[in-house]
Amino acid sequence: MKKEGKLPRGLRKRGGSYVAFLTHPDGHSERRTIGCVSLQTAILQRGKWQLELLEGKYIKRAVRAGAATFEEIADAWLVKQRENPKSLESTESRVKLLKEWWGPRLARDLTKEEIAAKLTEAATDKKWADATFNNYRLCLSGTYRLAIENKKVDQNPASKVKLRRLNNERCRFLTREKEYPALRQIVAEHYPERLPDFDLALHTGMRHSEMYGRHEKRIKTPGLTWQDVHLAQHFVTIPESKNGKKRHVILNNDAEAALSVLQERHKASNRAMVNTDGSDYLGISTKWFDKAVKRAGIIDFSWHCLRHTFASWLVMDGVNMRTVQVLMGHSSIKMTERYAHLAPDHMTSAVNRLSRRTVAAEPTTDTSFPPAPTSTDTESDTGIYDVLPTLVQ
């Protein structure tokens, strides 16, 4: 591939965008913008256009007065998104990059192939996660959908670009015997002011945003406040969870102890998550926690994995899926079922009950089987209110 400093004949670069100079059979020239693509893609596109001219297949589109540029439809999309401030900051960031790529281009000239190639190239160069790739693609598609509604374009090329398949079944959790005591000790020794935060997250499964709120440029939500904490009744209220609904979080003894420490720090602020001097702790960055994880020698573990730990330990202790769903605040049982395979000992114990009953029916001298089940070793359809006493121990 040719070096960027020596462009081939018929190609120029304007900012970050390539421009092709084409020659018609009658000798007159035409300039056409290719966009922010790789040099190899620009060479191939110009060659394709030039070949079409020579074969008489290429007909230049007549540009009607007021034809919309990509920048125009992207700006209109931003105006629309300001009605949903929760995701505005990330949307602005994405639109800014998209406008750098295609801002001056006529929106109708972008193709599915060009969009797919550019997103793939950016994903490789910037090491995007698959979810990031999808977010940019969805942002593009939304931009074009609005432009179609506004009669600026007549088709949506972004909608034809395939989304990447995501694996949302990450279930990393702390082992009770080794990782949990090691990590808690590190937090207690090096970040003692954050120990109540750690305990509260681990023993309630609350999301980061539910505890600390959001504190971005335009979005400020307080997170957990004292008016929503009901220690005497052993629960806290989340006015608006991730799915937009209110939910109640049950408190066990460890969670109540953590909240009691935070309550002692309580001064002027109504927020529960505060510093030792009572000042607000916004909690946006979890760098301290990442350092604690590293000190403890734990690999591939983030703050959100404390939530996975809460759910996994419940399943391991035999709490049924429906109850775990309620405690986690999942809108669908399918979200909860990801934890079912994380309790191998519990599952083995369950299937071994069949062996015990078989053995009881057919006496044998073989002593390798487990003993007969006791009255506490039977399956039951335990509901959420039945398990609450065990959860708050």
In the chain, where are the structural domains located?
A: 15-54, 70-160, 179-340
Q: How confident is the model at residue 375 (pLDDT cuts 50, 70, 90)?
A: very low
Burial (CB count <10 Å: 0-12, 13-18, 19+), residue 38: middle
Give the H or E element holding residue 14.
strand 11-14
Q: What's the CATH architecture for 70-160?
A: Orthogonal Bundle (1.10)
Tens digit of each residue's pLDDT (9 = 90 or more) over 261-292: 999 998 877 899 999 988 888 877 899 999 99
Residue 129 has pLDDT above 70, yes or no: yes
Q: Which residues contact 238 (CB under 8 A, 6 or more apart)?
A: 206, 210, 224, 228, 246, 247, 248, 249, 329
Assess contact for 288 and 195: CB atoms under 8 A.
no
Q: What is the DSSP letter of 378?
A: S
Greater model confidence, 10 or 352: 10
Q: What are phi and psi of 34, to 5 degrees?
A: -90, -45
The CATH number given to 179-340 is 1.10.443.10
Amino acid at site 53: L
Assess contact for 140 and 125: CB atoms under 8 A.
no
| Lowest mean pLDDT segment, chosen from 17-31, 108-122, 237-251, 331-345 | 331-345
pLDDT of residue 82: 80
Tens digit of each residue's pLDDT (9 = 90 or more) over 340-370: 766 556 566 667 766 665 555 555 444 443 4
Residue 145 has pLDDT above 90, yes or no: yes
As a whole number, the mean pLDDT across the chain is 82
Q: Which residues contact 297 (CB under 8 A, 6 or more apart)?
A: 182
| Lowest mean pLDDT segment, chosen from 57-66, 68-77, 174-183, 286-295 | 57-66
When mean pLDDT is compared over 122-131, 169-178, 381-390, the highest value belongs to 122-131
pLDDT of residue 20: 87
Assess contact for 85 and 220: CB atoms under 8 A.
no
Amino acid at site 250: I
Beta bridge partners of 17: 14
